[in-house]
């Protein structure tokens, strides 16, 4: 495994829509491993591939309940709203209050291309929405108060 360089908000890759993953190969596995290591090293709870310079639909999350790897994730259901503080490894030292859905269901593929679904509330729901936003070129500072 290796640490990847995390880009900051001036980098235009953070503003691009990421393309779908089509090949579930060793290269994808290495990227996922590196992203997890990079996230843990930075004490983050989530990291999206564009943050390490890869414009593809890949996210890792760990809010302290184990590592989640999400490929081509889509939010298929949203419920309620909740406001809480967010930060981002690509926007260092800036925090903002962001309104998100309180509960979300997300469909995604794992590293072997198998389809999964997760339903989450609280920090995990927030994290899923924040990271999926990254895959569509959106940063929390766009919607923070």
Residues in contact with Co ion, counted by CB under 5 A, come to a total of 1
> Which residues lie below 8 Å from residue 56, measured CB to CB, with a gap of 6+?
18, 19, 20, 21, 49
Pairwise CA distance, residues 44 & 46, whole Å: 6
Interaction of residue 88 with Co ion, rule CB under 5 A: yes
Q: How far apart are CB 33 and Co ion at their closest, in Å?
A: 20
| C-alpha pair distances (Å), 8 with each of 14, 56, 65, 93, 102 | 8, 17, 27, 11, 27
Kindly tell me which of 21 and 135 has the beta carbon lying closer to Co ion: 135
Kindly tell me which of 88 and 135 has the beta carbon lying closer to Co ion: 88
Is residue 112 within 8 A of residue 69, CB to CB? The reply is no
93 is catalytic: no
Kindly tell me which of 25 and 97 has the beta carbon lying closer to Co ion: 97
Q: How far apart are CB 113 and Co ion at their closest, in Å?
A: 25
Q: How far apart are CB 107 and Co ion at their closest, in Å?
A: 21
Phi, psi (deg, nearest 5) at residue 66? 105, 160
Residues 25-84 that bind Co ion (CB under 5 A): none
Residues of this chain that bind Co ion (CB under 5 A): 88
Q: Show which residues are catalytic.
A: 131
């Amino acid at each position: 495994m290796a640490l990847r360089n995390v880009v900051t908000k001036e980098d235009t890759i953070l503003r691009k829509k990421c393309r779908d993953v089509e090949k579930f190969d060793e290269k994808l596995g290495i990227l996922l491993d590196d992203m997890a290591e990079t996230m843990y090293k930075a004490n983050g709870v989530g990291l999206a591939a564009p943050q390490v310079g890869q414009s593809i639909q890949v996210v890792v999350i760990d809010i302290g309940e184990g590592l989640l790897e999400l490929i081509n994730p889509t939010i298929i259901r949203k419920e309620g709203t909740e406001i809480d503080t967010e930060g981002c490894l690509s926007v260092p030292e800036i925090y903002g209050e962001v309104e998100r859905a309180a509960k979300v269901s997300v469909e995604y593929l794992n590293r072997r291309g198998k389809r999964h679904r997760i339903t989450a509330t609280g920090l995990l729901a927030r994290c899923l929405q924040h990271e999926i936003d990254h895959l569509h070129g959106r940063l929390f500072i766009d919607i923070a108060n």
